[in-house]
Structure 1
């Protein structure tokens, strides 16, 4: 790896394990990564499956796979044995690393299970080797049992890490905690962008509701915090104040639309970056820096350095080196090269102003019909953004709205409000109160689980 742009991690980057003294950086980190890479190189050929926790063994496996040029799927470490077995059948990895449950019910909390990659019974086909540029595989968002895997090249991972580091002005003094899962593209991008910038990452599995998370944030003088909209809702309820954490300067947000009043509230307390991205673009596509929040309200920013945004027939289209190679449904797909040639149709609707700032207006497929009238489900959620956490799903000629903490009277009032604002009869809206909206491990609303309840 002669090109310094290929360094992951940068020679000055540090990993800090929360609750433990010292750090791991420089030559010591390089040596640990090299030892891990050597061990992974001795495994059978093929992709690796890594149960990716926010801990040192997981990060060393990831970096070791990178150094050994072994493609690695970073997956939820707590996948059920059945879900993991289904993925193994489809993608036939060379080894399973660090999963809580292995297929057939064997516990392998930090172990390695090697898998003999043979043809499917009766198929007669040999398993081809993955494409030489394939580096990382991430699951698409959703809670179905058979997610597609996003194929990311080494170029895409590095390009996005460097563009994020540039957009956020990351330097060696930055320290970020793992506030999001590392098998989620946003969480992984926090790790990658800090590692290429020679900065530090505090590894902790603690969540934002745990006191130990905030103790670690203060003990290690973390300078930034990354979160998704639901986490910011939660922080507001907790009356979170960045001023109580003296080293904390920067807050970043991606993973969905954040209510404008929350943006204003947190932007008044810290340097607040609004960001937009997709796993299919490795992570982030656009960034709105703090200094542009006031004059570009509602925007998700301009394209990250090296990227370009366009609107085609109302859809946001992104051009850049961080676009995925394509999807993978089976092991055979891992051998394919570039399917998209750096062009991603995002599935989001939006517009660009004269200065290239992007404004999202909805999803191509987030459309329902009420009495024959098309209704954008994102519009429904925007109308009710002052009512707390809500989610809208489509049904048979109706829209179901799920609202946290509402009683029967409150649900009826919301249905009437929607009818008035959208000029449709209120009976087209089935408003249901829930104690808590179901969430994916990424902190996003689990729409699939909600649709299963209708």
Structure 2
């Protein structure tokens, strides 16, 4: 299997230009040939949302080159740190004007390393991604070609993607979920509409209609945005599939968007993933969403789930809460923090310890109960911050995010109406639900929650604002 089906199509939404068939294959072959001419080793791909970037990515992957997908907006100091630590053979563009020491600019799209790194990457290594898509991630996830292709195949099967499907670039390609949407549609012979402006741009929604987009992949913050935009699927006759991953979507919104899509015989798929699994682990079948509300579904085809208890034993018994374990061919080889780690082989053996708390039901459907490390303390009581977010969201409007403070939990609430006066009764209601004194909680209003480039909440920024 390759990532490029002969029938795959790319459409530039800005110009309407289509690249498919022989011209697309020739463009990828040219990219493959170009990578064969440069210094051996890992290639850093700064990946904007463009057709050219997709061709470069597929070319690097098909050439057998280990590649790292990077945010083209990475601050210069973070890019420099990555280069120092991972010693890439080349940095592909668009590249900054100031060339990094030890590299030579070949053109506006390429820096090449003057001398090869002493580290030879492991032959199975295919793709490197930041652990959560965040710009300051200190380590990279090492994914093999087998892992990428296995997850691509699983998701095509789970979602029923065919050559008739048309996806749109609603997520950046350097983010694992965005990469997966791209991979699955190109490998299935489907179409990808490359729209670089994003959901709130004036050009985005007309492109849905103009190019007959059939599916839209979003993270929770984007669903919050869609609700504010009063999304109505009746306005978009071709759009009949929504998918969600990248964090927990409030049950209220899952039900809301399920109901909206049901009015047009459409579907909503809720999924659970981690970059370490290339990246999707589960898919909740749209037809069972109503009866399994709150679940993220069973493991994707080829994978299995289990729950590990505090004593180290594993179980699949229904209702037992513990750390979620996943096994499958899409699990990473391991992490990398320096160039020498790139030579390491598979250290996981197909096992991913997710760091998430969850439980299975009698049908093997997974419910996520929080993160192992996402806890705060109020009056000596240990509280799961993910649970606090769910409870706080139920007290009123606006997206919420909770962080641990000094002997209290601070909940940030998004929205112009999130004033101290409006939030006071919500604090009381939250405290009453938890049977704790209100002084252990604080709610603060923000015009908008800070987000990472992948659309997830930037908890680090919120913690620094405590």
- Maintained 8 Å contact 2:105/2:112: no
- Maintained 8 Å contact 2:133/2:174: no
Change (3 A) 1:399 1:102: farther
Gaps of 5+ in 2: 310-321
2:124 counterpart of 1:133: yes
In 1, Cα distance between equivalents of 2:98 and 2:118 = 20
Q: Residues 66-102 of structure 1: CA distance to partner in whole angstroms, max 9, x if unpaired?
A: 1210011001001111110011001011111114536
In 1, Cα distance between equivalents of 2:19 and 2:327 = 36
In 1, Cα distance between equivalents of 2:168 and 2:107 = 23
- 1:37 to partner: Cα distance: 0.7
Q: SS of 1:384's equivalent?
A: helix
- 1:33 to partner: Cα distance: 0.4
Match of 2:87 among 61, 70, 92: 92
Correspondence for 2:269: 273
2:46 counterpart of 1:48: no
Change (3 A) 1:331 1:342: same
In 2, Cα distance between equivalents of 1:305 and 1:420 = 43
Match of 1:33 among 28, 31, 53: 28
Change (3 A) 1:41 1:107: closer
2:39 counterpart of 1:23: no
- Maintained 8 Å contact 1:142/1:448: no
- 1:107 to partner: Cα distance: 10
In 2, Cα distance between equivalents of 1:305 and 1:146 = 30
In 2, Cα distance between equivalents of 1:21 and 1:199 = 17
2:357 counterpart of 1:352: no
Which 4+ residue blocks in structure 1 deviate beyond 6 angstroms? 105-109
- 1:143 to partner: Cα distance: 4.6
- 1:111 to partner: Cα distance: 1.1
Match of 1:243 among 220, 234, 240: 234
Correspondence for 2:281: 285
Match of 2:435 among 414, 417, 423: 423
- Maintained 8 Å contact 2:68/2:127: yes
In 2, Cα distance between equivalents of 1:246 and 1:144 = 37
Give 1:321-340 correspondences, 5 Å limit: 321-340=329-348
- 1:26 to partner: Cα distance: 2.0
In 1, Cα distance between equivalents of 2:75 and 2:105 = 11
2:292 counterpart of 1:296: yes
Q: SS of 2:363's equivalent?
A: coil
2:60 counterpart of 1:65: yes
In 2, Cα distance between equivalents of 1:322 and 1:17 = 30
Correspondence for 1:174: 165
Gaps of 5+ in 1: 119-125
Match of 2:180 among 162, 186, 189: 189
Give 1:114-133 correspondences, 5 Å limit: 114-117=112-115, 127-133=118-124
In 1, Cα distance between equivalents of 2:17 and 2:376 = 54
Correspondence for 2:317: none
CA RMSD across the alignment: 1.8
Correspondence for 1:161: 152
Q: Residues 156-188 of structure 1: CA distance to partner in whole angstroms, max 9, x if unpaired?
A: 000001100000001110000000010001111
In 2, Cα distance between equivalents of 1:296 and 1:143 = 31
- 1:261 to partner: Cα distance: 2.1
Correspondence for 1:121: none
Q: SS of 1:176's equivalent?
A: strand
262-271 or 343-352, which deviates more: 262-271
Correspondence for 1:123: none
138-147 or 258-267, which deviates more: 138-147
- 1:316 to partner: Cα distance: 0.4
- Maintained 8 Å contact 2:71/2:135: no
Q: TM-score of the superposition, structure 2-length normalised?
A: 0.92
Q: TM-score of the superposition, structure 1-length normalised?
A: 0.94
52-61 or 154-163, which deviates more: 52-61
Correspondence for 1:445: 457
- 1:40 to partner: Cα distance: 1.1
Change (3 A) 1:350 1:108: farther
Q: SS of 2:342's equivalent?
A: helix
Correspondence for 1:101: 96
Match of 2:409 among 399, 424, 445: 399
Correspondence for 2:110: 112
Q: SS of 1:374's equivalent?
A: strand
